[in-house]
Amino acid sequence: MLSAGQNLRTVRERLGLTMRDVETASTNIALRHKSEEFSIPPSRLSDIETKGVVPSIYRLYSLSVIYRWDAREILALYGVDLNSVVDDLQLSLPPKSHKSDALEASTLTRIPVRLDPSFDPRFTLNMGRMIEQWGVVPLTYLAQFADRRYTYGYVGSEDFTMYPILPPGTFVQVDESKTRVAEGAWRSEYERPIYFVETREGYTCCWCTLQQDGLVLQSHPLSPVPVRLLKHPQEAEVIGQVVGVAMRLGEWSTVEPSPEPRAREALN
């Protein structure tokens, strides 16, 4: 495995740069910033490449510019991974409230790449509890989803509780800050809040009504699933309100028209 210095040398040679070229370029950077700290003489560059000398932050900047190489990646060569900031934040807990920009140093984030073998697409479940392995992706791609209020659920292939609004196979975004069951008069079924609820049998999406004797889990009028009344919170807990959905359309077969009803026989 190449050392950090050897990696830097490999990059320099791949770009066709000599040590003198690096010295000239770094001198120009030093002049621009009015600081000799940015300058890298050949002797110092040789020590960096062959003797394991760690470049200063100023020379690291110069190498990043001259080699067209992200400074984060050069830092990683020396064992400083800025993506570890998220984990290391827990090692220092300032006593006073503060605003932290440390997370901006992270360029990568983890996403689920493998689910628990017990995952069964027939049943509605909490995706957050089914993740077995995580993978790493550039954080830039996921910035729009960075909100800790949300968890994500999946409507099982045999769960018709909110069909046809939420057909089986639907992914739902759940706002965990909205656990209080709202009351009121709704102008349409699309206005009425749908909740992601955990019961002893598993998870489900449904309308909810809070009564003195428990929580009413109300299915859609067109659903074959009956209305249930469960003790709250012993038997049913509201995880949050469904605030977003992702579903595939056009995969449901049309309902065959019922045959024409026969004329009623005359009573004798």
The answer to whether 152 touches 166, Cβ cutoff 8 Å, is no
Residues 78 and 45: beta-carbon distance below 8 Å: no
Digit-coded pLDDT (tens) for 227-258 = 999 999 899 999 999 999 888 776 655 445 54
Percentage with pLDDT > 70 across the chain:
77
Homologous superfamily (CATH) for 4-81: lambda repressor-like DNA-binding domains (1.10.260.40)
Give 132-140 contacts, CB < 8 A, sequence gap 24+: 134/110, 135/110, 135/111, 136/108, 136/109, 136/110, 136/111, 137/108, 137/109, 137/110, 137/111, 138/107, 138/108, 138/109, 139/106, 139/107, 139/108, 139/109, 140/107
* DSSP alpha helix (H) spans, the chain: 4-14, 19-33, 42-50, 57-66, 71-77, 85-88
φ/ψ of 13, rounded to 5, equals: -70, -35
Q: Thinking of the domain 150-246, which architecture would CATH place it in?
A: Ribbon (2.10)
pLDDT in tens, 200-220: 888 899 999 999 889 999 999
**Domain coordinates in residue numbering, the chain:** 4-81, 150-246
